[in-house]
Amino acid sequence: MPNIKELEDLTTQVRRDILRMVHKVNSGHPGGSLGCAEFFVSIYKEIMERNEGFDMDGIGEDLFFLSNGHISPIYYSVLARSGYFPVEELNTFRLINSRLQGHPTTHEGLPGIRIASGSLGQGMSVALGAAQAKKLNNDDHLVYSLHGDGELQEGQNWEAIMYASAKKVDNLISTIDLNQQQIDGSTDDVLPMGSLRAKFEAFGWTVLDIEKGNDIEAVLKGMKEAKSLTGKGKPVCVLLHTVMGNGVDFMMHTHAWHGKAPNDEQLAIGLEQNVETLGDY
Amino acid sequence: MKTYTYTEKKDTRSGFGAGLAELGRTNPNVVALCADLIGSLKMNEFIDENPERFYQIGIAEANMMGIAAGLTIGGKIPFTGTFANFSTGRVYDQIRQSIAYSGKNVKICASHAGLTLGEDGATHQILEDIGLMKMLPGMVVINPCDYNQTKAATIAIADYDGPVYLRFGRPSVPIFTPADQKFEIGKAIQLTEGTDVTIVATGHLVWEALEASKALHEAGISAEVINIHTIKPLDDKAIIESVSKTGCIVTAEEHNHLGGLGESVARVLAQHKPTPQEFVATNDTFGESGTPAQLMDKYGLNSDAIQNAVKKVLKRK
Ligand SMILES: Cc1ncc(C[n+]2csc(CCOP(=O)(O)OP(=O)(O)O)c2C)c(N)n1
Ligand SMILES: [Mg+2]
């Protein structure tokens, strides 16, 4: 049994990391990052089987791909706190000559990252390729991917979604961050997408909802269930219901904090609401 | 030497927004499309005033280009808005087949071009878009230098019948062109007269070229600065005439040296008047995160870099 208190403490700490990272450079994307904190902590600490160190090919371990690359702050924080690179390096986020680029890249060789993302809509195709490589290698480990809900408006996703079931890529778990927000407003304001469950099911996927995407126990339970659904001939989609900006009251439930950094005062309030647990970087 | 000053700095994308708003009031055929970046493209004024002529496409740039092509069939003049990266590379074949080859009157308006997008980093900093777009037969490629010129260009392209790529950016830069200057597609603008070297610049590098010419003047070097806001069709005549006088040239752009303004100029000169040329441009590289000023310095795209290039090219005369 995982120690829930430890995971919650880590979640609080990565929320602090996110706020401090984007505040320092006055740029970056706190909203989606905060909403996905429990998901990242869960998969990196409990769900995925990972090898020591970092190897690009990831043979004999589970892989993760972030398609909505703008939520790099949460990705970097959890990678650092999972031992991929020194936590102090979070200090260099978005600075010149840093490995922690605005959007994740392989170009600077940051351990933990296997593909560049930032231009939306490309990650599922890459995850599919990696999942098929695993099959060719007789490697029975899984591939995980994360996508924004607004991001699903990109057509390439639907090419990938159609392919995944057609080719029975059943070692893939693609999670959608269902925060119902994007840049110009709510997803319903910008381009209503109807029932994502019905769409994925119509495309031949097994679909599972995690209604409480910001509750660590619910996320753990849901992701374990998703895992149990792999290997049955169908790709697995997790609809992760989250709150954008979760954990900082004035950032919650609005698209306003999709890509805006807090000022000094706002940072102080955000940090007050998330008291240091494991130590700031 | 003619000198230029400014009282205000503004982003060129705001010039686009102002131009589009004016078109909304003056040209009922103008329609606008955006792929979830209304605020970044400064399209709010047009949308508020003409909600029925605005299409929110969602995050689906390829679909946006196709819809824009379709809107021209029926006499509309569509202006698409997204970042330069997603306006070009992302949708190249949609533009190529449905817009360029089909000869459709679409205005592809692209913000956040080049390194000066800053902290978002290389995934968003396209340095290849001028090359991609100028290679498409019939595509006009425009990269204005300041707020006023971007506004004027936005208004001018509505009156031109054919596909246009309009490139602009995110940072605040000095406003130094006159607010009432008419924008003529394909017509270079001589900013300073000089005898020793020609500096041909486009976009954000035009102001840097003026700064360089000031410093060079103090060092006894007379530079002729030309603002090439239209990369295609290129004003061959203005370039040939200038180098006939100066005998050497520096080109300056926020773009890869492969495929950019510099290569277009080199082609004209190789054909008509072989001339020593130096390139101020990125050197076959991707960008990275950083502040715009840091990046322009690191990648050699500022007044200092232009001055160094001038000193180098003068030795080759
Ligand atoms: C191809 C592409 N088009 C546009 C953008 C600009 N952009 C970055 S994030 C974003 C909104 C994404 O919405 P969603 O996936 O729901 O993420 P969230 O806002 O919930 O974090 C947009 C339009 C981009 N990065 N890539
Ligand atoms: Mg969203």
Helices (H), ranges, B168-281 = 205-218, 236-246, 261-272
Which chain B residues are within 8 Å of A95, Cβ to Cβ? 289-290
Domain membership flag for residue A147: yes
pLDDT tens-digit map of A135-180: 999 999 999 999 999 999 999 999 999 999 999 999 999 999 999 9
Whether the Cβ atoms of residue B134 and residue B232 lie closer than 8 Å to each other: yes
Q: Are residues B120 and B54 in the same domain?
A: yes
Whether the Cβ atoms of residue B253 and residue B37 lie closer than 8 Å to each other: no
Catalytic residues of B: 61
Q: Are residues B267 and B139 in the same domain?
A: no
Domain membership flag for residue B152: yes
Q: Are residues B242 and B120 in the same domain?
A: no
Please compute Rg for chain A using Cα positions: 17
Domain membership flag for residue A279: no
Domain membership flag for residue A41: yes
Domain membership flag for residue B183: no
Element (H, E) at B47: helix B44-49
Domain membership flag for residue A281: no
A190–B contact, CB cutoff 8 A: yes
Domain membership flag for residue B179: no
Helices (H), ranges, A192-279 = 196-202, 216-228, 264-272
Domain membership flag for residue A278: no
User: Looking at the DSSP assignment, which residues form a beta bridge with residue A210?
Assistant: A240
- The tokens for B82 are 């997204």
Q: Is the pLDDT of residue A129 over 90?
A: yes
A72 lines ligand 1 (CB under 6 A): no
- The tokens for B316 are 């080759």
Are B289 and A96 a contacting pair at CB < 8 A? Answer: yes
Q: Are residues B166 and B204 in the same domain?
A: no
Query: Which one of B43, B59, B94, B117 would you pick to mutate in the ligand 1 pocket, going by the greatest count of ligand atoms within 8 A of its CB?
Result: B59
Q: How many structural domains comprise chain B? A: 2
A183 lines ligand 1 (CB under 6 A): yes
Domain membership flag for residue A144: yes
Residue A98 to residue A150: CA distance in whole angstroms: 29
Q: Are residues B91 and B165 in the same domain?
A: yes
Element (H, E) at A207: strand A206-210
Q: Are residues B160 and B245 in the same domain?
A: no
* Full domain range(s) for residue B276: 189-314
ipTM for the predicted complex: 0.95
A136–B contact, CB cutoff 8 A: no
A121 lines ligand 1 (CB under 6 A): yes
Q: Are residues B250 and B147 in the same domain?
A: no
A120 lines ligand 1 (CB under 6 A): yes
Structure confidence at residue B68 (pLDDT): 98
Q: Among B147, B174, B201, give the residue marking a domain's end.
A: B174
Residue A266 to residue B173: CA distance in whole angstroms: 29
Mean pLDDT of chain A: 98
* Range 208-267 of A in CB contact (< 8 A) with B: none
**pLDDT 10s per residue in chain B (317 long)?**
899 999 999 999 999 999 999 999 999 999 999 999 999 999 999 999 999 999 999 999 999 999 999 999 999 999 999 999 999 999 999 999 999 999 999 999 999 999 999 999 999 999 999 999 999 999 999 999 999 999 999 999 999 999 999 999 999 999 999 999 999 999 999 999 999 999 999 999 999 999 999 999 999 999 999 999 999 999 999 999 999 999 999 999 999 999 999 999 999 999 999 999 999 999 999 999 999 999 999 999 999 999 999 999 999 99
A91–B contact, CB cutoff 8 A: no
| Chain B residue with minimum CA distance to A102 | B120
CATH number at residue A16: 3.40.50.970
Instruction: Quote the DSSP letter at residue A181.
Output: B
Q: Are residues B37 and B162 in the same domain?
A: yes
Q: Are residues B119 and B250 in the same domain?
A: no
Domain membership flag for residue A43: yes
Residue B245 to residue B231: CA distance in whole angstroms: 22
- The tokens for A222 are 């849901």
Q: Among B174, B200, B220, give the residue marking a domain's end.
A: B174
Domain membership flag for residue B181: no
B291 three-class SS: coil
Q: Please enumerate in sequence order all residues whose Cβ is within 8 A of that of A14, keeping only pairs 6 or more positions apart, or say none.
A: A37, A40, A41, A74, A77, A78, A81
Domain membership flag for residue B4: no
The structure's pTM equals: 0.97
Q: Is the pLDDT of residue A1 over 80?
A: no
Q: Are residues B75 and B199 in the same domain?
A: no
Q: How many structural domains comprise chain A? A: 1
Q: Among B174, B205, B221, give the residue marking a domain's end.
A: B174
Structure confidence at residue A2 (pLDDT): 82
* Full domain range(s) for residue A44: 4-272
